[in-house]
């Protein structure tokens, strides 16, 4: 059950189309199976994305089938769509430095308002450990794709835990620094 990370839904749908033409329903099902078991796509999101890709010339309608309900369009990726996916895949993702995290803001505000910032850090540590247990269990039961995405999330949580410990050790210095400004 992979976790959906922020991504380009359009590029992902285009990539799925490279294996052959598909209907919107088939694209949604393939997306959900590969990437969206935790947060499946809504049908409206699939069809609005396909409409935008069609308008931009990245897909073409490969056929229309009449059924019991509305007509079903089958989409195929265009050469421009293949080029767009290739460029997207080759472009590195921007590393997120988290220089203004909400947790940091909470700690500083707690210090500024004379609340116990240590309690905030302890509560967050407990929540991180709880999530790490869930992910570790999921990783143990999952397939290779699930293991890899869980490892990614676990490594980020471990980095957060190191920050929580470091911040807890420096709370007195941080309190002096933020209240003396």
| pLDDT tens per residue, range 30-72 | 999 888 777 889 999 999 999 999 999 999 999 898 877 778 8
pLDDT band at 116 (very low <50, low <70, confident <90, very high): very high
Helix 171-179 × helix 144-169 angle, to 10°: 70
Note the pLDDT tens digit of each residue in 74-92. Answer: 999 999 999 999 999 988 7
Residue 6 is predicted with a pLDDT of: 42
Mean pLDDT computed over every residue of the chain: 89
DSSP at 60: E
Residue with tokens 């052959």: 20
Count the neighbouring beta carbons within 10 Å of the beta carbon of residue 13: 27
Helix 79-90 × helix 9-17 angle, to 10°: 120
């Amino acid at each position: 059950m992979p976790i959906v990370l922020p991504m380009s839904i359009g590029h992902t749908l285009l990539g799925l189309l490279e294996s052959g033409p598909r209907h919107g329903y088939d694209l949604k099902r393939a997306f959900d199976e590969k990437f969206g078991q935790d947060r499946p796509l809504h049908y409206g999101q699939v069809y609005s994305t396909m409409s935008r890709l069609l308008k931009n010339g990245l897909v073409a309608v490969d056929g229309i089938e009449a059924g019991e309900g509305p007509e079903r369009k089958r989409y195929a990726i265009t050469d421009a769509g293949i080029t767009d996916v290739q460029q997207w895949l080759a472009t590195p993702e921007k590393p997120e430095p988290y220089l203004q995290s909400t947790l940091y803001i909470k700690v500083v505000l707690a210090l500024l308002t004379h609340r116990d910032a240590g309690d905030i850090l302890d509560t967050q540590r407990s929540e991180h450990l709880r999530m790490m247990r869930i992910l570790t269990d999921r990783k143990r039961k999952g397939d290779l794709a699930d293991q890899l995405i869980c490892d990614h999330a676990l490594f980020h949580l471990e980095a957060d835990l190191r920050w929580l410990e470091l911040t807890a050790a420096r709370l007195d210095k941080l309190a002096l620094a933020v209240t003396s400004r």
